[in-house]
Amino acid sequence: MSQSGLVAIESAADWVAADYVDVDDWSETLSDTEREELERATRQLPPAMQDWVTLKPADVPLPRLGARLGRVTDDLERGRGFALLRGIDLPPDDFDTVRRMKWVLALNLGDVIAQNAKGEMMGSVQAEFRGERTADTRGYVSSDELRFHCDGGDVATLLCVRQAPIGGTNSLVSSVAIHNVMVRECPEHLSVLYRGMPLYMRKESTSSGKLDSARLPRIPLFRVDTGQLSCFSNLRLMELAYETAGIPMPDDERAALDAFEEIAERKAMKIEFKLRPGDMLLTHNLAVMHKRSAFEDDPDVAKARLMLRLWYNVRGGRTERLQTPQQRRGYFTKAPLIVQDDSR
């Protein structure tokens, strides 16, 4: 491990819960003018979703809202590593327009990438699965608690369409802050986290019907590049890399992950809030982890909790020097599409 792993890293992304107590103080609310501009741009999208893939920001410009999105990008890349846009005016009975709004926003923020083996670039987060999940059941199709994790791409976004009546609370924690606490409290675990852990990639059916899977080599939870700390973690997928292979996780890795998660779960470390319809959460995966509490859905399917998830890379972002163009394409896919199923 580099000697830099033994010292705390100064960063604007090193924050704790006390720094962001009231969500109304740190969220961004769209103005009436910005909402009208977004609605106009949404109507400019081609009728067919597949034609959206080749669009550029200049095709659906947001002159006024774009300035706000630029500040959000700067905060994600060089600031605290997360943002919350509020006041997106979603039509309650027009899911096609909701998707269009999400795409226009994403297109003006960065380059959208595929998030599963089907090549989907926008996915619905909804409790479609009941019962005990297997290793290959993705957590976002259940109502279970999701532990702290990062997603693919530079930035993960989540647009709230409908919220659950009970539960479904979101939490964020600074990965940089966790690192710096470990430097002070348990530096013996840092060499393990800098070395990294293998990551299990869940099996998924592709658009061709083939079941794809992959086991990635060791991925560092912490790395320092030109003085900037980058972090990546998915606790459950790191555990599954060993469980699915039928071998126990080494003691030093188990102890390091436990210490990492215990610090993340401290009340003083994480901020908690509940998204409401029209909110879009953005988190930079190299700076911030996110999680969701378990929830109880409305018995009426038409009122069930529904979020739209999308991942993108920041144009000219810091990960360009850390990853090859192939690595930045997203999930292993050769045929990107907006959504697999157009009904919702």
Q: What is the CATH number of the domain that holds 102?
A: 3.60.130.10
Lowest mean pLDDT among 44-53, 120-129, 217-226: 120-129
Domain annotation covers residue 20: yes
Domain assignment of residue 163, given as a range: 3-183+221-233+260-329
pLDDT of residue 126: 82
Give buried/exposed letters for 159-175 (b at 16+ CB in 10 A, else e). bbbbbbeebbebbbbbb
Q: Is residue 208 part of a domain?
A: no
At 290, which amino acid appears? H
The total of structural domains in the chain comes to 1
334 part of a folded domain = no
In a domain, 278, yes or no: yes
Q: How far is CA 330 from each of CA 156, 166, 266, 272, rounded to the nearest angstrom? A: 12, 33, 31, 28
The 10s digit of each residue's pLDDT in 232-265 is 999 999 999 899 889 999 999 999 999 999 999 9
Q: How many helices, marked H, and strands, marked E, lie in the chain?
A: 8, 17
**Which pLDDT does position 200 carry in this prediction?**
87
Domain for residue 156, yes or no?
A: yes
**177 DSSP assignment:** H
Does residue 78 lie within any of the structural domains? yes
pLDDT at 20 over 60: yes
Q: Tell whether 134 is covered by a domain.
A: yes
Indicate the pTM of the whole model.
0.90
pLDDT band, residue 323 (cuts 50/70/90): confident
Q: Which pLDDT band holds residue 120 (cuts at 50, 70, 90)?
A: confident
For residue 203, tell me if it sits in a domain: no
Q: What percent of the chain has pLDDT over 70?
A: 84
CB 264 within 8 A of CB 146: no
Instruction: Tell me the average pLDDT of the chain.
Output: 88
In this prediction, residues 268-291 reach a mean pLDDT of: 97
The pLDDT assigned to 142 comes to: 73
Structure confidence at residue 130 (pLDDT)? 60
More confident residue, 312 or 139: 312
